[in-house]
Chain A
């Protein structure tokens, strides 16, 4: 390879329903300006409304297929984790950047380690102020929270806002958002802007202030736990006892709402069961649940991933990849996250991996044949 010509490969996403692309033409142009070469697989940007011509104009080379794209690549950037077959296709020793879901895909992680691939999981970027520009979980969750409310509004057989008209008064929809992370907060903001009455709930003590900072109300009840937040700002799992108390009290309140959007996730674990079947049964017919934790098993007992089910007259949505339904902005934001990470990896047109750096060390899953991320190593080891 020529000196300084570090090549970044953007293969087409193959997962079902995935319409995002890891780099947009704008991002490609920025990288080309840094002196990097970019190879984009034909049609990679189609889903996100970016034609091959736009990539070529931005300075990328278009490759006819995945094999040609990956050949000679130093860095491979993707949105979704590679399938087993794709992982085998990656050039040995290359750098891979994608949502690797390292804690739940041990097989893949072992393969990557065996192939001496340096992999960075976008989901593992540390949650520190400096790394926020690379925080793809946030950028994508933001889209998901917004879309979840739109889905709820579209399938709710009611208005969101309150309207006093000559034909009578319509009361505002009551929306409950469980989990006040990025997706939850954006869901709260969006539901508020559509005119609903909005409540938020989270086990983290700081969340009350954040919910109220968006003008919503915090649903407060006592579960006997002061705070359940780890130092990265994510929720920790509750004890069985506290979880049971929480479930009972929540279950009693859920019936009051027209819309429940659930976003509660604990990293690396099954999603907490916040909405049991009994609660769904108690809700008014026509109510809507949008479960953003469907992929991790769902916050609602009756959720089916990627399905919409109607039980007791309550519509339950279980979308697993909402960002892919807004591929233009989702790709724009993800591409920016990836570009910022690349800026950390590349110095003067060559790879310079500084593992002293907190961000790189945190995001790195495998390197030089080893699984460097402790949690991922534990997950991969446990299932080996």
Chain B
């Protein structure tokens, strides 16, 4: 057991590092699909649920309770898996490459292949079922014919698929194939688990899977894209519930007569799974606006939450120490549920994505704990990947919102003051920043690029770098145009002089009136140090000193990348609300440095 534990811990640690490195390469653009994808992968709790639902409890008093809990867990986690992968794929379909668009591919090939594989496995299962000798149970029949090693190799293969799948998310180009691969990995793990030596009956497994698949497919296909965060939260709470139930079932089965290591893992699993379950439900309710979105705070909140946490941790420790069967275990689970609610209720709606990422991470840890409990390596790997990626994602989001991680983490314990709430309500939103290598990734799939040069380009003398970038994009088959605002720069014709110096052909320069109608088709608008001439306030805000000035309507483009030295306002001295647009990413720094870096990153991606 000890060696098994050590191996498990090594796997946990290494998978964590792997997760960290994969996730750091994922551009902010793909953070939402990433969250959804890790959420889908967190449905690996399905593997444990299957074992519990199909287990042999003939020697356990009231063994049907274990089967029932396992059955619910299977239904919940398969909903999580099916819904998670479907919604992720739908999200990623928005990042179609121009090639795909040209071919007009409507039904993704990956899904077709996936459906084919499922059908194949299904028919094999049916044939096996009908050909089995009548005196054997299905489980015995399978174990006779398939060596137990097959399961372990299936797990290794699916672990590799999960890792490669997440890796695929580092570029829009590979993201969809990556998710399809991860889904295949999940399928392989599930099918492999069906051969698990502890599984003897399949009735409840099949019913649970069918229910989960139907609900998951309905959720994945019918929910509007705007409701994705809520769906992620709900699906996630189901996954966590599954983890929690599996733990409860195991405890019930052995009545606490387990070794201390397993008991520790089990307690951790039920507590974290339980609080993630209720926490995610509350988060979903807030996002769906069933509950009021703003933070709900009350006096002594910190004290109550911390006391509760202390009680839970204390009782878990006591359970592990005594190794006894006690109804107090179920009280602890209930307290974990309550704690989950207390954890999320005081957090405002704006911080919800961070909370969801964090809950995702907790869910992953619960999965890993389940893996330790059941000595299941794939669950340890996946749980660890998920745990680190969720945590890292939460940190990245905090950074993007200019909040310290501590603020958000302890904000979770209710330190959100009234001032913060007022400030959050007043602020125009958050500014998302991006790095040069992330920008390079975005340019990989862009087919229609518009460059908006401004005074910032002139000051940085970045015209040659800008022209080189344009040439590189053109060589790759993209359309590149330069949108010249009539008052860009500090001199009439300022941009013309500079771009001519950099040998940008005159026919690539487009006047404002001519380019404005075509901004909606632009995949990326690269704003190089232009400010006021792109400010949507000129169109919408009557109080703005820019009101009425014709602007380049870059806010209508599919995505906007702004190169800027700082958040300082432009010539007119007004803030540019474009920067708070959720399609807008800021690449801070000297324009020339940024573009030079961008160019070298783009070359290295080739």
Contacts and interface: CB of A to CB of B under 8 A. Distances in A.
Contacts of A361: none
Interface string A273-296: 000000000000000000000000
B545 A129 contact: yes
B546 A130 contact: yes
A214 B460 CA distance: 10
A192 B545 CA distance: 35
A310 B547 CA distance: 51
A214 B486 contact: no
Contacts of A185: 490-491, 494
B459 interface: yes
A215 B461 contact: yes
Interface string A206-222: 00011011110000000
Nearest to A183: B491
A133 B486 contact: yes
A13 B532 CA distance: 37
Contacts of A142: 491-493
Interface string A27-68: 000000000000000000000000000000000000000000
A125 to B, nearest CB: 13
Contacts of B498: 214-215
Given A182-B491, A185-B491, A128 B545 contact: yes
Interface in B481-503: 486-487, 489-494, 497-498, 500-501
Interface in A106-150: 128-130, 132-133, 138-139, 142
A269 interface: no
A373 B549 CA distance: 24
B314 interface: no
Nearest to A184: B491
B548 interface: yes
Nearest to B497: A189
B490 A210 contact: yes
A130 B545 contact: yes
Contacts of B296: none
A128 B572 contact: yes
Contacts of A158: none
B455 interface: yes
Contacts of B398: none
A129 B492 contact: no
A94 B559 CA distance: 50
Contacts of A138: 492
A213 B493 contact: no
B218 interface: no
A139 B492 contact: yes
B549 A129 contact: yes
B489 A129 contact: no
A182 B492 contact: yes
B458 interface: yes
A213 B486 contact: no
A129 B532 contact: yes
A209 B548 CA distance: 28
B571 interface: yes
Contacts of A189: 491, 493-494, 497
A193 interface: yes
Interface in B444-461: 455, 458-459, 461
A139 B492 CA distance: 7
For the complex, would chain B's binding face be called helix, strand, loop or mixed by DSSP majority?
A: loop
A132 B501 CA distance: 25
Given A193-B497, A213-B459, A129 B490 contact: no
Contacts of B459: 209, 212-213
B488 to A, nearest CB: 10
Nearest to A207: B490
Contacts of B547: 130
Given A189-B497, A193-B501, A214-B458, A130 B492 contact: no
Contacts of A315: none
Contacts of A129: 487, 532, 545-546, 549, 571-572
Interface in A178-236: 182, 185-186, 189, 192-193, 209-210, 212-215
Interface in B318-377: none
Interface string A152-186: 00000000000000000000000000000010011
Contacts of B492: 138-139, 142, 182, 186
Contacts of B500: 193
A343 B493 CA distance: 23
Contacts of B455: 213
B551 to A, nearest CB: 10
A132 B491 CA distance: 11
Contacts of B461: 212-213, 215
Contacts of B548: 130
Contact of B490 (A128, A192, A213): A213
A138 B545 CA distance: 20
A214 B500 CA distance: 12
Closest 9 CB pairs of A and B: A213-B458, A185-B491, A130-B549, A189-B497, A142-B492, A132-B487, A129-B572, A213-B459, A210-B490
Given A186-B491, A189-B497, A214-B494, 5 more contacts: A129-B487, A132-B549, A139-B492, A212-B461, A214-B458
23 contacts: A128-B572, A129-B532, A129-B549, A129-B571, A129-B572, A130-B546, A130-B548, A130-B549, A132-B549, A133-B487, A138-B492, A142-B492, A185-B494, A186-B491, A186-B492, A189-B493, A212-B459, A213-B459, A213-B490, A214-B458, A214-B491, A214-B494, A215-B461
Interface of B: 455, 458-459, 461, 486-487, 489-494, 497-498, 500-501, 532, 538, 545-550, 571-572
